[in-house]
């Protein structure tokens, strides 16, 4: 009988030791994963770029409609601020949140519609006054099926920013208009600094909720 209890004790002791070992290894594995995630975040390429406008007039056709090569038009195909802006936008894979006072540029609206057609979740917040002016592209975006919300105040919704895939921020003085792109002195900061991106994400979500059409009172 004593031998039986001794064997039983040894068996359960072995099982408990195995469970403890598995628990320790699992804990170490989780800690290692957390360390790797923190390392990868730090290792992620830091993006900090500033674009100045007015931009040179360049052809954006290859970026929007042609996989490679030039379109053959007589416009310059050299690098420019507007080309770099469009390339950043075309890098979007999952979501694009736009909060824009004025949006009248055809090439930028074509870029946004193209992203929507690719399956990117596009949301737009606009100013109620300027979205109704002649030349505004908000109607085109809505017709394409892109959700747009706007303020209901006499004060301007004067923001000018975009967030790509919730990780890259584009913000500055630049309205998305042809005049701003090609004539005005403007600036655009592009960064993936999480400390800067998050407040803009929070602001977008706050306005998106505030401008819910079910809450309009006119």
215 labelled catalytic:
no
160 labelled catalytic:
yes
Q: How remote is the C-alpha of 127 from its chain's centroid?
A: 20
18 labelled catalytic:
no
Q: Of these residues, 88, 150, 159, 160, which one is catalytic?
A: 160
Measured CA to CA, the distance from residue 131 to residue 133 in angstroms comes to 6
Q: Are 61 and 68 in contact (CB under 8 A)?
A: no
Cα distances (Å, whole numbers) of residue 82 to 56, 89, 112, 131, 171 = 8, 11, 14, 22, 14
Q: Of these residues, 116, 165, 166, 193, which one is catalytic?
A: 165
SS3 content of the chain, % helix, strand, coil (to 5): 45, 20, 35
Q: Of these residues, 7, 70, 79, 158, which one is catalytic?
A: 158
DSSP classification of residue 74: S
User: Which amino acids are annotated catalytic?
Assistant: 158, 160, 165
């Amino acid at each position: 009988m004593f031998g039986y209890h001794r064997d039983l004790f040894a068996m359960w002791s072995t099982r408990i030791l195995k469970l403890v070992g598995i628990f320790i290894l699992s804990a170490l594995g989780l800690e290692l994963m957390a360390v790797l995630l923190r390392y990868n975040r730090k290792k992620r390429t830091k993006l900090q770029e500033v674009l100045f406008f007015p931009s040179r007039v360049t052809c954006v056709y290859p970026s929007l409609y042609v996989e490679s090569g030039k379109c053959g038009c007589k416009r310059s195909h050299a690098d420019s601020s507007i080309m770099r802006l469009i390339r950043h936008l075309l890098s979007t894979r999952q979501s694009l949140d736009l909060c824009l006072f004025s949006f009248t540029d055809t090439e930028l609206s074509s870029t946004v519609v193209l992203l929507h057609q690719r399956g990117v979740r596009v949301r737009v917040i606009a100013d109620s006054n300027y979205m109704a002016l002649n030349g505004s592209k908000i109607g085109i975006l809505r017709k394409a099926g892109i959700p747009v919300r706007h303020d209901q105040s006499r004060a301007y919704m004067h923001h000018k920013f975009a967030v790509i895939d919730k990780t890259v921020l584009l913000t500055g003085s630049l309205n998305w208009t042809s005049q701003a792109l090609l004539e005005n002195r403007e600036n655009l900061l592009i960064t993936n600094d999480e400390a800067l991106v998050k407040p803009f994400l929070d602001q977008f979500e706050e306005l998106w909720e505030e401008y819910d059409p079910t809450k309009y009172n006119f």
